[in-house]
Chains A and B, each alone.
Chain A
Amino acid sequence: MQKLKYESPAIQKMNAGLMNKYGSRTEYEPVKQIDGVAVKDLIAQYGSPLFVISERTIRRTYQNAVRAFKTRYPKVQFAWSYKTNYINAVCKVFHQEGSWAEVVSGFEYRKALGNGVPGNKIIFNGPEKTNEELKLAINNDSLIHIDHFEELYQLIDLSDELGKKPRVAIRVNMDTGIYPMWDRFGFNYENGQAWSAIQKIVASGKLQLTGLHCHIGTFMLSTDAYAIAVKKLGDLAMNAKTQLNTQIQYLDLGGGLPSANTLRGAYLPGSDTIPSVDEFAEAITNALLQLGFSSNELPLLILESGRALIDDAGYLLGSVLANKRLSDGRRATIMDFGVNILFTSFWYEHKISPAQDFTHHTEDMVLYGPLCMNIDVVRQSVNLPLLNRGDQVVVHKVGAYNMTQWMQFIQMRPNVVMIDEKGNTHLIREAETLEYIEQMEKMPDHLQHFSL
């Protein structure tokens, strides 16, 4: 006789007035495969935990965003935000789709060059740019976005030295009705700093003012704020044209579009509350078309979306290490992944699905990571079926920031695989080894030996 599937015996108090099982964020279906590849097989081959990236989802998400903007505005260019996920294979999917590169450090800049992005299609942002890095960017005719006056003068000096006229934009910060206002980057619009920077650039005669850039915040839930940003950048562009006889070629609206993740502490799930990419496109392009530029003078619209284009395509597979009861009777489940590799669990209530069949009996539990650190909490409270040691789970929407902000802390970082559009799996970043981690270390002679 076939034995029945086992589940740990459990009882649950029926609380008067507290959560009912229809009321918690129970995930309905087990997720047994990703793009047709079985979770079980992926873990068997590549180990657990494991990041999985769906190439098909990246391309679909990207094409959908491009469609949303291009059907509404004639001149649109996306630039892949390297910091969101700079694994080269991921970047190259975006570049194959037509995306430029947007980088915020010399390290990322060289990564983009290495990926074969032509220098004049790299946008160089960020507050730190060394002389060497700027020279490289100037010689490559890259688009340099100036963050502060020091950088502006630095560029004027370098243009003298190199005898070249670099293409530059300024980053502008502004009040778009959003709190908190990001006023630490770039030049302020309201107090006239931005205009003064524009005047200085034009007056210097040493730099070509090609664009204006802003990035109003992150995980934006309001489309109106973007319309305000367009209007303010548009004002500056119009003034540059009429007063300084300088034609601004592009407006770069930065990124900040949200993914469908649920922010910690949010009442309603992200999937219900975030505006769609079409709604953002509608607000942004409408505002652009109302700026008053003639159709042949319309500026190119550049978007640096990261999160909204990659989050959905990333999954983290993991396994249960152990279960325990906390002192208050609550169930705790310890996973083999934690905040070390799932950095975004500090911000999100990640959706987590079991990867195998389960019964309807669920329990509210804490999900901990494997680190011997109190901060290592993946979900403070999540309603899940009872998981046994070795059971596997799928964490959804982890494509953004995790594979760049992850920490090599206590544990090493795991394999990352990409499933291509035909369902083939490719290892795109190998799990770290002790040798890899230690290869940068140097040992002074006097510490070579000891005896215990």
Chain B
Amino acid sequence: MLANNQLLTVAVTGLNAIDSPGPGVAVIRALREGFPDKVRIIGLSYETMEPGIYLHNIVDKTYQIPYPSAGTEALLKRLEYIQEKENLQLIIPNFDAELYNFMKMAPALRSMGIASFLPTQEQFSARDKINLYQFGLKYGLSVPKDQVIYHESELYASAENLGYPLVVKGKFYDAIIAHTLEQAQKAFYKLSAKWGFPIIVQQFISGTEINIAVLGDGKGNTISSIPMRKLYITDKGKAWAGITIEDETLIDLAKKFVAATHWKGGCELEIMRTADGTPYIMEINPRFPAWIYLTAAAGQNQPAALARMALGETIEPFTEYEVGKIFIRYAWDHITDVKEFQQISGFGEL
């Protein structure tokens, strides 16, 4: 637990506050607000042009870390080096692709004195796109029907079953809406060439897009859930502006999800609410969303609460939040010097 006035040192990834932003900078902002003047932020970056690296009022010091594909051994070595210099108490990873490694390393990190607050391997894979439908069936959550297929010839049967339009999805990313078998076949080939097999064919659900930022304590309690309606989206489908809304069915859905899975840590439920009001879970992102600062602005600072739980505090679930809070993301040209770029690229530290 954190003693009064003790400086908290937290490492945060996802400093890529770019047009399709990582959540790191927003997480840091919430932490700085939750622990005023008591937090030192260590940025962990993969690339040299992640804006957070250069924002010295947000990130105190940044270290490059190995890409997830380098494996846990390389990452652990690097973190040992960082730990020697910085004495981290907590790590908050923010990328889907790196979570596998951080979950696997959690015991090793703990023995180095670094806390984390992450879902288990089982929770992580249960919510994977490929398993989502089974996941919904198991826990009585509304999810779109889907079929996981390997052959183009299976498309016809899938379409019979799901009806048109249907959504053809890649194993990792990308989704294409198909209105005919021919379009579905085209999408199948395009997505399998890009992301490999399997391909997921999903029932098309139309409605209003809502996201919920959720924090679970790992024991089945929902510490916080903030529903946000997207007001404006980018051409990549990312929320550019959004507003907190009041809707008990959404809060109940989040609670049901956390109670069923005992989800530990932050996550984002991507919801499609149909005309009849049913909230379908379209996807579950196993980490905080990029708009997470809105939870702090609305009165439920999820990153700060996560940090406290990771350090051993028991946190009571939040009950109130402000409805009608809006975030609008904006672009800002930060100015730096080639020396800073060379420093981070050459030495991996800035």
Per the bound structure, the CA–CA distance linking A192 and B48 in Å amounts to: 59
Per the bound structure, the CA–CA distance linking A17 and B70 in Å amounts to: 17
Interface residues of A in 11-64 (CB under 8 A from B): 14-26, 28
CB of B346 within 8 A of CB of A14, answer: yes
CB of A23 within 8 A of CB of B70, answer: yes
Quick check: is A150 within 8 A (CB to CB) of the other chain?
A: no
Quick check: is A271 within 8 A (CB to CB) of the other chain?
A: yes
Quick check: is B317 within 8 A (CB to CB) of the other chain?
A: no
Shortest Cβ gap from A394 to chain B (Å): 17
CB of A14 within 8 A of CB of B345, answer: yes
Quick check: is A409 within 8 A (CB to CB) of the other chain?
A: no
Given known contacts A14-B345, A14-B346, A179-B198, A20 and B69 CB-to-CB distance under 8 angstroms: no
CB of A271 within 8 A of CB of B70, answer: no
Per the bound structure, the CA–CA distance linking A364 and B144 in Å amounts to: 44
CB of A19 within 8 A of CB of B67, answer: yes
Enumerate chain A residues within 8 angstroms of B97, measured Cβ to Cβ: 267
CB of A17 within 8 A of CB of B48, answer: yes
Fill in one digit per residue for B313-329: 1 if any A CB lies within 8 Å of its CB, else 0. 00000000000000000
Interface residues of B in 73-117 (CB under 8 A from A): 73-74, 77-78, 97, 100-101, 104
CB of A268 within 8 A of CB of B67, answer: no
Quick check: is B242 within 8 A (CB to CB) of the other chain?
A: no
Enumerate chain A residues within 8 angstroms of B77, measured Cβ to Cβ: 28
Per the bound structure, the CA–CA distance linking A21 and B63 in Å amounts to: 12
Enumerate chain A residues within 8 angstroms of B196, measured Cβ to Cβ: 265
The residue from B71, B198, B348 contacting A269, defined by CB atoms under 8 A apart: B71
CB of B64 within 8 A of CB of A267, answer: no
Quick check: is A132 within 8 A (CB to CB) of the other chain?
A: no
Given known contacts A23-B70, A272-B101, A16 and B64 CB-to-CB distance under 8 angstroms: no
CB of A272 within 8 A of CB of B104, answer: yes
Shortest Cβ gap from B87 to chain A (Å): 20
Enumerate chain B residues within 8 angstroms of A267, measured Cβ to Cβ: 68-69, 97
Per the bound structure, the CA–CA distance linking A20 and B46 in Å amounts to: 7
Given known contacts A179-B150, A179-B197, A17 and B73 CB-to-CB distance under 8 angstroms: no
Enumerate chain B residues within 8 angstroms of A19, measured Cβ to Cβ: 67
Enumerate chain A residues within 8 angstroms of B69, measured Cβ to Cβ: 25, 267-269
Quick check: is B60 within 8 A (CB to CB) of the other chain?
A: no
Residue of B nearest to A180 (CB): B150
CB of B46 within 8 A of CB of A272, answer: no
Fill in one digit per residue for B50-68: 1 if any A CB lies within 8 Å of its CB, else 0. 0000000000000011111
Enumerate chain B residues within 8 angstroms of A14, measured Cβ to Cβ: 48, 341-342, 345-346
The residue from A20, A179, A271 contacting B345, defined by CB atoms under 8 A apart: A20
Interface residues of B in 333-350 (CB under 8 A from A): 341-342, 345-346, 348
Give the contact-size bracket for chain B. 20 to 34
CB of A22 within 8 A of CB of B48, answer: no
Residue of A nearest to B81 (CB): A22
Quick check: is B33 within 8 A (CB to CB) of the other chain?
A: no
CB of A23 within 8 A of CB of B64, answer: yes
Shortest Cβ gap from A258 to chain B (Å): 15
CB of A20 within 8 A of CB of B49, answer: no
The residue from A20, A24, A265 contacting B348, defined by CB atoms under 8 A apart: A20
Per the bound structure, the CA–CA distance linking A335 and B69 in Å amounts to: 25
Fill in one digit per residue for A225-265: 1 if any B CB lies within 8 Å of its CB, else 0. 00000000000000000000000000000000000000001
CB of A22 within 8 A of CB of B49, answer: no
Per the bound structure, the CA–CA distance linking A267 and B98 in Å amounts to: 11
Per the bound structure, the CA–CA distance linking A176 and B7 in Å amounts to: 53
Per the bound structure, the CA–CA distance linking A17 and B47 in Å amounts to: 5
Quick check: is B192 within 8 A (CB to CB) of the other chain?
A: no
Per the bound structure, the CA–CA distance linking A424 and B345 in Å amounts to: 46
Enumerate chain B residues within 8 angstroms of A179, measured Cβ to Cβ: 150, 197-198
Quick check: is B285 within 8 A (CB to CB) of the other chain?
A: no
Enumerate chain B residues within 8 angstroms of A24, measured Cβ to Cβ: 66-67, 70
Quick check: is B142 within 8 A (CB to CB) of the other chain?
A: no
Residue of A nearest to B101 (CB): A272
CB of A25 within 8 A of CB of B70, answer: yes
Residue of B nearest to A273 (CB): B100
Enumerate chain B residues within 8 angstroms of A22, measured Cβ to Cβ: 64-66, 74, 78, 348
Shortest Cβ gap from B333 to chain A (Å): 15
Residue of A nearest to B68 (CB): A268
Enumerate chain A residues within 8 angstroms of B65, measured Cβ to Cβ: 22-23
CB of A269 within 8 A of CB of B341, answer: no
Quick check: is B72 within 8 A (CB to CB) of the other chain?
A: yes
Shortest Cβ gap from A209 to chain B (Å): 34
The residue from B64, B100, B345 contacting A268, defined by CB atoms under 8 A apart: B100
Interface residues of B in 255-305 (CB under 8 A from A): none
Per the bound structure, the CA–CA distance linking A14 and B65 in Å amounts to: 16
Per the bound structure, the CA–CA distance linking A271 and B49 in Å amounts to: 30
Per the bound structure, the CA–CA distance linking A180 and B198 in Å amounts to: 11
CB of B48 within 8 A of CB of A20, answer: yes
Interface residues of B in 1-51 (CB under 8 A from A): 46-49
Question: B: which residues have CB within 8 A of A?
Answer: 46-49, 64-74, 77-78, 97, 100-101, 104, 150, 196-198, 341-342, 345-346, 348
* CB-based closest 6 A-B pairs: A269-B71, A23-B67, A14-B345, A22-B64, A16-B49, A17-B49
Interface pairs (8), CB distance under 8 Å: A20-B48, A21-B348, A25-B71, A26-B70, A265-B196, A267-B68, A269-B70, A272-B100
Given contacts A16-B48, A16-B49, A25-B74, 17 further A-B contacts (CB under 8 A): A16-B47, A20-B48, A21-B348, A23-B64, A23-B65, A23-B70, A24-B66, A25-B70, A25-B71, A28-B74, A179-B197, A268-B68, A268-B100, A271-B73, A272-B72, A272-B100, A272-B101
